[in-house]
Every structure is written in C-alpha cells, then in structure tokens.
Structure 1
Amino acid sequence: MEMSETKKIDVNSLYAILLREVENDTVQEVDPNLYHNIAEFLGNIKNHDYDGIESKITESLVKMITEMTSILLKIRIEKATSLDEIDYSNLLDEERFILDSEDELRQRKETILSATLNGRLKLLETVGENHRARSIVVRFLKPMDQIMGTDLQSYGPFDAEDVATLPFENARSLIGKKIAVKVSWED
C-alpha cells in the first residue's frame, strides 16, 4: 500500500486506533488524514436519507463514531500536554492547531505572573492597553447608524449581515446588545 493511498475509516478501524491510544503512554502514530477521513465518513452517512431500521442503525453508528473521536482527541491532547514541554511528535496538524493556543495561554500566564511578581508595572499597563486596543471582526444582525469607535475613528453605518472590524470595547458593547455577533475565523 502506498503512503498516498488513504485508509478509509469505519467503526472497527477507529476503535482499533482508540484502543492503541489508550494502551500506550505516548501519542501514537496515526494516518495524517484521520480527522479528514472521519469527517468524510460522517458526512457521507449524514447526506443519505435512510428510513426505518437503517435510520436507527446509522444514528447509533454516528453516535459511536462521535464518542470515539471525542475520546481519541481528548486522550491525544492530554498525553501531548502531560509534560512541561508539549510533545509534538506524532501529532496531526489539527491537534497542533489546538495546542498552539494552549502554548500561547501558558506563555501569557507566565508573562502576567512574572510581571506582577517582579513589579513590572509598565509591562502590565502595556498588556492591558494592547488588549483593550485590539480589534474584533463582527457581523451585524440588524442595521446600525454610524458610531464613534473607542479609537476615535468613525465606523458605519451598517446594514444587517455587514461584516466589520471594530475596536474591542465597541464590538463587545454591540455583541452584548445583540446588534452584532463575533465572527470566528472558521465562519
């Protein structure tokens, strides 16, 4: 079998992968396309219109795959982060994506703690200012007149469904009033 050929996933193969992961202390090597294959498998099942007994069977199949995938991801992430340094070996791109944010979180905690314990007021002020000054992308749920941003720039007017980058405080206020919603990168 060539490397380029991807192994199709099913309940048995996923169970075998999960079992191997549970039985070993280190993150196991898996097909680089694992999550892609699972997504494709579930997508194919969900796009079929089954009825009667078939629909019940596929329903429980989806449930099993969903649970196994959740457990597998959780275990792999926990194993990779169980040491002081994140162990990136054998992790898939999707898992590295998750862990990059954990790494960032850990660094931020250390920065704040260190600045606080070492009396570095300037650093704390800068962090606070930068955080308040950052922008957020929002999608408007209803029309909105022009507003003055906390950065003293004017924004708008906006129609429903418009997307805009606004200063954090303004965005937070609009989100709180249900006038807009935060747009996450995958939308």
Structure 2
Amino acid sequence: MDLKKDYKKLYQQWHKEFKQIKLTELNQDLFNHYKKILNFINEYKEDNSNELKNLILNSYKENFNFLFDDFLKLREVKIINSALALKEINLNNVIEAEKLFYQNLVGTIKGFKKVKTLSLYQGESEINLEDLIKSEVKIKEDIKEVSISNKKEKSLISESNDLIDEVKIDYTLVRFLKETPPLVGIDLINYGPFEKEDIANLPQKNAKILMNEKFAEKIELN
C-alpha cells in the first residue's frame, strides 16, 4: 500500500469531479480500495512519543477523509440533479449503491409525476386508488432498500443535520476569481455555481481548497 500515491490519485479524481459537470468514472474495485485505505489510516496507532509523526499522520488522515467524503457528496449532488431532471447517466461510471440510488430516485419522481398528472384529470375520469396506493408502497420499499444498501457502503447519503449542528464549523469569506461549478460544503449545504467576482461565505476547509486551487481569494475584513 503506497499511501502517498493513493492520496495523489484520490486528490486528482476529486479535483476532476469538482471541475466537470458529468460524473467521473468510479468502479467498485476503486471504491473498495479507497475504503480499505481509509480503514487502515483511521485505525492505525502510532507511539505517542513521536509527536511530529503523529502530527503528520493526523493531518494526512483528516485530509484523506475530507477528500473522500467530499468526493462522494459531489457525486451525490450530480446524481440527484440528474434524477430530478430525468436525465440519463452512464451507469457504467457509478458503483452499485449509486446506481440503485439513481434508479430509485427516477422511479420515485416518475411515480410522483404520474400521480400529479392523474390528479389534474380527476374530474374527467375515475382514478384507481388501489393502483396508486400499491405504487406508493412500492416506491417507499425501493427507497428503504436503497437506504439499507447505502448504509452497507458506509453511507453515500448525507448524514443527519442534527449531527452537523453538534460540530462547530468555521467560515471564510471569499471572492471567486473565475467560474466555479457547484460544490457541497462540509456543512452538507450546496453552494454555487459561481461566476467571477461572486462573493460567498464558505466553510473554512472548502474555502482553503478553493484558494489553493486559485479559484478564489480570501476577503480580509478590517
């Protein structure tokens, strides 16, 4: 296991996911590989006497976890947006949990649109309530199935907002230097897209990445 090489690979894929509108390719083997690395670094214990080594390890652990979580959240937002627009995605570029998530979202949205359409003609023709109830039950079962599947993948779906409230998040005011695609903050709020000269108050970790990549600059408040 080459941690430096794997970190660089994850960073490059995260950066590509961040910059482009379409989903990047993510196969199950690569996903499992990243999870294996995360499990290793999160469980690794170092002798407390070596403070410098512990500092480097903790920094590496924090950055790797952030990149991986943000990478999955970026993909989640793209999948949700595609499903809402009933836009097809390349199912060869997603892992099984993402595939099920997308397919069931599309099924739910189509089911809702069907019910909505039928309700518009309520006065003109009889609606089969039994069929609608069966359809609603099927949709709920599908969503529950995807939820269970995603939990087995250690959650592709956003965590509870109640948990977020318990964590103090610092924010930084930035000015964008060029067009920037939408992103998911570590507070799980969707930000963007942004135009050049736009100003936004973003979570400090997200802002730091944007500034490092020359997408934005910090606004100093006197």
Q: TM-score, normalised by structure 1?
A: 0.55
Written as runs of structure 1 = structure 2, the 5 A alignment for 1:33-44 is 33-44=29-40
Q: Does 1:67 align with 2:70?
A: no
Matches of 2:88 and 2:120 in 1, distance apart?
Answer: 25
Tell whether the 8 Å contact from 2:86 to 2:106 is kept in structure 1 after alignment. Answer: no
In our comparison, the structure showing a higher alpha carbon Rg is 1
Please state which structure has a larger fraction of its residues in helix: 2
Q: How far 1:131 moved relative to its partner? A: 5.4
Matches of 2:105 and 2:70 in 1, distance apart?
Answer: 19
Tell whether the 8 Å contact from 1:115 to 1:121 is kept in structure 2 after alignment. Answer: no
State the match for 1:47 in structure 2.
Answer: 43
Superimposed CA distance per residue, residues 6-32 of structure 1 (whole angstroms, 9 cap, x where no aligned partner): x98732211111112222232223454
Q: Does 1:92 align with 2:78?
A: no
Q: Does 1:128 align with 2:128?
A: no
- Of the three residues 115, 118, 128, the one matched with 1:115 is 118
Matches of 1:108 and 1:88 in 2, distance apart?
Answer: 22
Matches of 1:30 and 1:132 in 2, distance apart?
Answer: 32
Superimposed CA distance per residue, residues 87-108 of structure 1 (whole angstroms, 9 cap, x where no aligned partner): 1252233321221221122122
- AA aligned to 1:10 is D
Query: Residue 130 and residue 12 in structure 1: after superposition, are their counterparts in 2 closer, same or farther (change >3 A)?
Result: closer
Unaligned runs of 5+ in 1: 1-6, 137-182
Matches of 2:133 and 2:37 in 1, distance apart?
Answer: 45
SS in 2 for 1:10: helix
Q: Does 1:14 align with 2:16?
A: no
Q: How far 1:113 moved relative to its partner? A: 0.9
Tell whether the 8 Å contact from 1:112 to 1:124 is kept in structure 2 after alignment. Answer: no
CA RMSD of aligned residues (A): 3.7
- AA aligned to 1:15 is Y
Question: Which of 1 and 2 has higher RCO (CA within 8 Å, sep 6+)?
Answer: 2
Query: Residue 77 and residue 131 in structure 1: after superposition, are their counterparts in 2 closer, same or farther (change >3 A)?
Result: closer
- Identical-residue share of aligned pairs (%): 16
Query: Residue 184 and residue 79 in structure 1: after superposition, are their counterparts in 2 closer, same or farther (change >3 A)?
Result: closer
